[in-house]
Amino acid sequence: MTVNFKYIFFLLLSAILVQCVPPEEVVLTEVTRDLRDSTLQEIIRYQDEQKTAELYPFFRDKDPSYRYAAAMAFGSTKDKTALDSLALLLKDAIPEVRVAAAYAIGQLGDERGANILMGAFEQYDTARQFVKSNGIILEAVGKCAPKETLSLLTGISTYKATDTLLLKGQAYGIYRFAMRKMVSPEGTSKMLAFVNNPLYPPSVRMIAANYLGRAADIDISANAQSLSETLATESDAKIKIPLALALGKIKTPIATSALLKQFNQATDYRIKVNIIRALNGANYDSVSATILTALDDPNLKIAQMAAQFLINNGNARQAASYYRMSKVERPWQVQLALLEAANRNLPPYMVDTKGGINASLRKRYLSAQSATEKAAVLKAMGDFGWNYSFMLDQTPNLPTAVEKSSLVSGVGRIIANPDFDKVFGVSRRRVTRDLSGFLLEVFKNGDVGSMAVAADILNGINDNFKTALQDSLPIIITAQQNLNLPAATETYDKIQNAINFFQGKTPSTKQTIPAFNHPIDFNLLQRVTSSAAAVIQTTKGKIRVSLSPLLAPGTVTNFIQLAESEFFKDKSFHRVVPNFVIQGGCPRGDGYGSLPYSIRSELPLAYYDEAGYIGMASAGNHTEGTQFFITHSPTPHLDGGYTIFGKVTEGMEAVHQMEAGDNILSVAIRY
């Protein structure tokens, strides 16, 4: 056999050369998230423990998934010292990492971030590689920039109707400015142009409608006709619902007529609820027929809103008729609201009718079948000062937390009445002494819900009561010191505000942030798949929620632990705000309860842009525990402030039908 030595030599040389060439480094370009990944768990743990210094090394990791996760963590921790480090990631080669950095900088709320964000905007992104990060930058500017920057944002006029992400960024940016009480005529004009032009994307028009409905100190009075036409022709409820509130800001016959017409045509109760809200302050005679008819709407939320309208907008001429209407067979919530409307609007000289109304309230309290109804009656009694003796007599007999805190709330109404001295006349000093003594007893007894309500009453109380209670301040301070934290953090902060008021200190917005006290169960977390769900059985039916462990791993595991321990069994939905939220999970039933721990806020890039999101109730960053809410409609003002940990996939009918006092029967987890 002939051997070709040249060929063998060539092969050997090639092998040697190949060994001398370093292997080409693999460049990772995709952002992925796997909760079984030990490195991702480490980042989640550092975020949960607020160990922000340990997150910085991940900013340099070769895997963009970890850079992304570490940057997004600061959207939840809101640690402003991270600003300069996050700025470096705004030029990351991976667009998703830029998105995370831009979002986090906006969440910090530091004005210094504005120039950093604007400097990172890719103005000549012809390949549209960074269109998403550019959109998030525009929104983030609205969260942190000084007001003078608003003109730069509103001045952008080059985006086409097809530039959805950029338009959303611009609209969200203007909206976020407004939520910080920064508005301009130019910004309002831009939002009007968005909402009135159906060629713009629905998501952009939804944001614009929410801006027009929610922003304070904007003048849209010249746009009554165009907004009326848009309301009439719009078919998307997500746009129509907030647009009704916008039109309600224009107190003209054109606007009122448009709202009334839509009320009669609407089939979505949420639109009708918002139209009634929008009619607040309108000419009573022009809207009363619609409101009075709505009292008998088969949808309780519409009927309740109509009755609430009469509480806020009723007049003395009709007050006696509200009392008569309260005797007609209707749901107790509507009857009670009519009594409240009569009490609030009846002229003082109609003494006999006043007596009849409040005798009816006392009778209703004694015959009420539920704690929710009793609590509502106690609160309503506060509209007539001379109910105070009856109310205080109930103090030893109140079996539930919701009744106790509602009694204090009713007393607060009596105290806050600007005609207090006129109502009680020569008895005012005695009544002041009695009510002051009652408030003091609240702090001595130590009920956290009652103290929270009482603290709100004290914060800004009139001089007579302040003088009567000034020497008792040590008792209030002691009550605060005896609170169990972190469970009573909200009450602690409310009492501190009251103490500051009594001590003549400047009001503080500083919030107590609980120390880390409830680590994430990672063993449980690894069992939670992307298809995990919670099935909530309620007295109104079944609600199925798809859980989002990638968005909120700590919150999801906490919710599962509570569910599997049967914590939620027989807990009520204690708070129902029509066309906003239903809220439950309070162990007390009045919204002031928690367990002896708190969990962290988890606030990655996520939006309350549809109905049915489930989020955590909160008294401030990192104070969450057991209470959750489910939204009726898009609620963009909650974005970035309240943890989203799932979405309803089945049972929105039950969510919409829920009433305060309805119960959770069970919560089952499906892995």
Q: Is the pLDDT of residue 5 over 60?
A: no
Name the average pLDDT for the chain: 95
* Residue 35 confidence class, pLDDT cut points 50, 70, 90: very high
Question: pLDDT exceeding 90 applies to what percent of the chain?
Answer: 93
Q: For 114-125, how does the pLDDT look when each residue is reduced to its tens digit (9 = 90+)?
A: 999 999 999 999
pLDDT confidence of 185, banded at 50, 70, 90?
very high
Give the model's pLDDT for residue 348.
85
Q: What is the pLDDT of residues 590-621, one digit of tens each?
A: 999 999 999 999 999 999 999 999 999 999 99
pLDDT in tens, 36-65: 999 999 999 999 999 999 999 999 999 999
3-state secondary structure 218-241: CCCHHHHHHHHHHHHHCCCHHHHH
Q: Note the pLDDT of residue 4.
A: 54
Lowest mean pLDDT across 68-77, 155-164, 346-355, 650-659:
346-355
Residue that the structure tokens 């909206």 belong to: 175
Q: Read off the pLDDT of residues 117-164 as tens digits, 9 standing for 90 and up.
A: 999 999 999 889 999 999 999 999 999 999 999 999 999 999 999 999
Helix (H) or strand (E) holding 646: strand 644-650
Each residue of 411-424: pLDDT tens digit? Answer: 999 999 999 999 99
pLDDT grade, residue 18 (50/70/90)? very low
Residue 13 has pLDDT above 50, yes or no: no
3-class secondary-structure state, position 533 = strand
The candidate with the shortest Cα–Cα distance to 643, out of 75, 105, 43, is 75
Q: What is the pLDDT of residue 338?
A: 98
Would you give the end-to-end CA distance of the chain in angstroms? Answer: 68
Residue type, 310: L
Quote the pLDDT of residue 447: 97
pLDDT given at position 1: 44
- Tell me the mean pLDDT in the region 231-246: 98
Give the residue-averaged pLDDT of 7-17: 48
The position carrying tokens 């006696």 is: 320
Sequence-distant (≥ 6) Cβ neighbours of residue 605 within 8 angstroms? 72, 75, 99, 100, 103, 136
Average of pLDDT values for 196-225?
A: 98
Largest separation between any pair of C-alpha atoms in the chain: 130
- Are 590 and 401 in contact by the 8 Å Cβ rule? The answer is yes
Q: Which fold has domain 375-505?
A: 1.25.40
Residue in 611, 607, 598, 523 with CA at minimum distance from that of residue 35: 523
> What integer pLDDT is reported at residue 11 of this predicted model?
46
Q: What is the structure's pLDDT at 49?
A: 97
| Structure token digits, residue 569 | 């069994």
What's the confidence (pLDDT) of residue 506? 86
Of 369, 391, 394, the C-alpha closest to 380 is 391
pLDDT band at residue 376 using 50, 70 and 90 as cut-offs: very high
Residue 401 tokens read as 């937390």
Torsion angle, CA of 399/403/408/409, rounded to 10 degrees?
180
Which residue from 603, 645, 595, 648 is spatially nearest to 622, judged by alpha carbons? 603
Q: Span 418-447, mean pLDDT?
A: 97
pLDDT score recorded for residue 14 = 52
Q: How far apart are CA 386 and CA 154, in angstroms?
A: 54
Confidence label for 312 from pLDDT (cuts 50, 70 and 90): very high
Which CATH number is 527-670 given?
A: 2.40.100.10
* CA 108 to the chain's CA centroid: 19
User: How far is Cα 441 from Cα 260, in angstroms, rounded to an integer?
Assistant: 49
Q: Residue range 482-509: average pLDDT? A: 94
Mean pLDDT of 166-184: 98
Per the CB < 8 A criterion, the answer to whether 459 and 498 are in contact is yes
Res. 96: pLDDT tops 70: yes
pLDDT, one tens digit per residue, over 319-341 is 999 999 999 999 999 999 999 99
**Model pLDDT, residue 12:** 47
pLDDT in tens, 642-659: 999 999 999 999 999 999
Residue 21 identity: V
Specify the pLDDT at position 20: 53
pLDDT in tens, 527-554: 999 899 999 999 999 999 999 999 999 9
CB 540 within 8 A of CB 661: no
